[in-house]
Structure 1
Amino acid sequence: MTDGNARIWHVCADLAARYAEGVLPEPDAWSLEKHVEGCAGCASRVSDAVRGTAAGAVLAEVRDAVLTAVPVAAPGRQVRPDTPPARLTRPRTPPVTSRLARLLWAAGPAVRGAWLPAVLVVAAGALALAYGTGFPGARALLLAVAPVVPVAGVALSYGPHADPVHEIAAATPGGGLRLALTRTVAVLAVSLPLLTLTGLLLPASGAPAAAAWLLPGLALALGTLALASFVGCRTAAGLTGGGWLCAVLAPVPAAPGGEATARLAEQLSRCLGGAGAQGAWAAAAVLSAVLLAARRPAYDRPLRG
C-alpha cells in the first residue's frame, strides 16, 4: 500500500480486489476513492479489478452502449463508424477551468442563482428605507431579518431540492457534511460582511450595533445544519428562521400606533445586546457545532428534503 514514504501510498492489488468485491471497510473505501481521483495508475488498477467482477461486466456493457449511442472524440478528430468505443476519448477539460467549475458548484447559491441578488435587495432596501423615505427603524428591521438570510442560504444550497445529483453527491468522499459546510461557509462569506456593512451605514435609532447579529446568524446556520440531519434542510430552516422571527417580532403587533419601531428596537436589544445575550448565542453556536459533529453520519445518506 505504501511506496517507501510514510506519507505517500498507492493502491495494491489486494486492496483493489477487496474494493471491487465490496468488502473493504467504508472509511478505507472513501480514502481509496479520494486517492484515485488524482492517481491515474491506481485508478487503472482499481478499474481492472472492477472489470473482473460480475458488476464490471454489466458496467462495461452500459459504457459501450452509451459510447455507441453518443460517440465523443477529441477536438478536431474524426470519428469513424467502426471505431471501437474503447478507443474514443473525451476532450480533456483545462485544469483551471475544471477547478473553477468544481468550486462554483461547491459554493452553491453564494455565487449562482437568485440568492445573491436577494441579499443585495435586502441591503439596498434597508438603505432606501433609511435615506429615501427617512424611516428611522431601518437598522432594526435589518437586524431582525439579517440572521434569517444565512439560514435561507443553507436551505437553498443543500438537499435534493438544490442538487439533481444530491443522492450521488452524498455518497462521495467530497459530499455529505463536507459539501454542506462548504456551501454554508460560502453563504456566510457573502452575507455577513455585506449585511454588516449595510448596518453600519444605517442610523442607529436605538437599535443594537450593526455587528450584533453575527453570532446569532452563525448559531442559527449551525443549528439549521444540525437539525437538518433529523428533518431535512428546508424544514430545519423553517423552524430556526421562523422561531427567530417570531421571537423578535412578537411584541411589535401589540405596540401602540407609532411605537412599533421602538418596540422592535427594544426586543432586539434583549435578544442581541449585551454580553449576556452574545454569550448565550456563542454557547448555542458551540452546542450546535457539537451536535452537528455527532450527527455527521446522517449526512452520508441523502437528506429528506
Structure 2
Amino acid sequence: MTGWHASDDLVTRYGDGSLPEPDAWSLEKHLETCGRCATRVSRAVRETAAGAALAQVREAVLAAAPALPTTASPTTASPTTTRPRPRARPLALPSPRPRLAHLLWAAGPAVRGAWLPAVLLVACGAVALAHGADITGVRPLLLAFAPVVPVAGVALSYGAHADPLHEIAASTPSAGLRLVLTRTAAVLAVSVPLLTLAGLLVPSANAPGAAAWLLPGLALTLASLALAGYVGVRAATALTGGGWLCAVLVPVLAAPGGRLTARLAEQLQYCLDGAPAQGGWAAAAVLSAALLAARRPAYDRLDQR
C-alpha cells in the first residue's frame, strides 16, 4: 500500500481512455501495490462500453470452465445431487510482485549473462598478475580501464541486442529512464566493489589510489546516460568510453622511449590524482545528472535508437 491514491478524475479518465499515456503508465504502476485503487479502476472500467464486452467474455470463460467438485452439506445433500453449477466469483487482484524479485527482473542483463563473469575476470586477473606473475605496473592498467567498465556494462545491459525481453520491458510502466537507472545501479553495484578491492590488492607502482577512479567512473557513466538521450545507449557509451581511453592511452603510446607503465602512471596522476582533478570529475557528474533529469522524456524512446 501507499499513502497516495488516485483521484476520481484520474480513475474516470483512465476508464474512458482519455488519460495521456505517461499518466496511464504511472497509474498502472501504482495499481501494482494498491488494492484500493485497483478496485476503483476495475469498477470504472466495468461501467464503460468496454467493460460490458469484458464482462461477456468473462462470463463465457466461466461457463466453459469445468465445474469444480465441492463437498455437499449433510443437511442439503440428496441422492440425486449432481455436480453444482459453477458460480461467478469476482476476479481476485494479483498480489504485488515481491520487491526483491521486481528489482532483480528490472536489473536484467546487468546481473546475468557474460558481463558479471567478465568483471570478475578483470578483477581477479589483475590480482593474479600482480602477485602470481610478479608483474609491476598492474594498478595503472587497472585504473586506466576501470572507469570504462561501468560504461560498457550499461551498454551491455540495455537494448534488444542484450535483453531478449527488451520489448516487453520497454512497454511496462517501469520503462524509460527508471529502467535505465535501475540497470545502471546494478552495474555500479557489481563493478565498484570488485574493481576497488582489486586495486587495493595490487602494488601502487606510483599510481593514484585504488579509489581514484570512482568519481571519473561515475561521471563517465552519467555522461553516457545523458548523451544516450540524443544518440542512443550504444553510441553514447562508445563515445564516452572511447574518449576516455584515447585521452589516457594515446599520449602514453605516442611518447618516445620505453617505460610505458611509468608514463601511464604519470598520465593517470594528471587525470585522477589531486583535488583539482577530482573536483572537475565531480562537477562533470553533477552537470551530467542535471542534463539527465532535464531530458527525462527522451528516454521513453531509447529503444527506437
TM-score (norm 1): 0.79
Aligned residue number for residue 290 of structure 2: 290
Instruction: Give % identity.
Output: 70
Aligned equivalents of 2:232 and 2:56: distance in 1? 37
Compared CA separation, residues 228 and 55, structure 1 to 2 (3 A): farther
Residues 244-263 of structure 1 correspond to what in structure 2 (within 5 A)?
244-256=244-256, 258-263=258-263
**Structure 1 runs of 4+ off > 6 angstroms?**
57-65, 86-93
More displaced 10-residue stretch of structure 1: 29-38 or 212-221: 29-38
Aligned equivalents of 2:19 and 2:240: distance in 1? 39
Aligned residue number for residue 162 of structure 2: 162
Aligned-residue offset at 1:56: 5.8
Aligned residue number for residue 38 of structure 1: 33
Residues 106-121 of structure 1 correspond to what in structure 2 (within 5 A)?
106-121=106-121
Aligned residue number for residue 5 of structure 2: 9
Aligned equivalents of 2:299 and 2:10: distance in 1? 26
Q: Contact between 1:139 and 1:204, CA under 8 Å: does it hold in 2?
A: yes
In structure 2, list runs of 5 or more residues that go unmatched: 69-84
Q: Contact between 1:106 and 1:183, CA under 8 Å: does it hold in 2?
A: yes
Aligned equivalents of 2:180 and 2:199: distance in 1? 28
Aligned residue number for residue 77 of structure 1: none
State the secondary structure of the residue aligned to 2:303: coil
Aligned length: 284
Q: Which of residues 11, 16, 25 in structure 2 aligns to 1:21?
A: 16
Aligned equivalents of 1:62 and 1:157: distance in 2? 39
Aligned equivalents of 1:64 and 1:134: distance in 2? 75
Aligned-residue offset at 1:114: 1.6
Q: Contact between 1:229 and 1:303, CA under 8 Å: does it hold in 2?
A: no
Letter in 2 for 1:111: V
TM-score (norm 2): 0.79
Aligned equivalents of 2:18 and 2:188: distance in 1? 40
Aligned equivalents of 1:225 and 1:61: distance in 2? 47
State the secondary structure of the residue aligned to 2:252: coil
Aligned residue number for residue 82 of structure 2: none
Aligned equivalents of 1:283 and 1:270: distance in 2? 17
Cα displacement string for residues 14-58 of structure 1 (whole angstroms, at most 9, x for unaligned residues): 543311333224564344223322233432432344455566678
State the secondary structure of the residue aligned to 1:101: helix
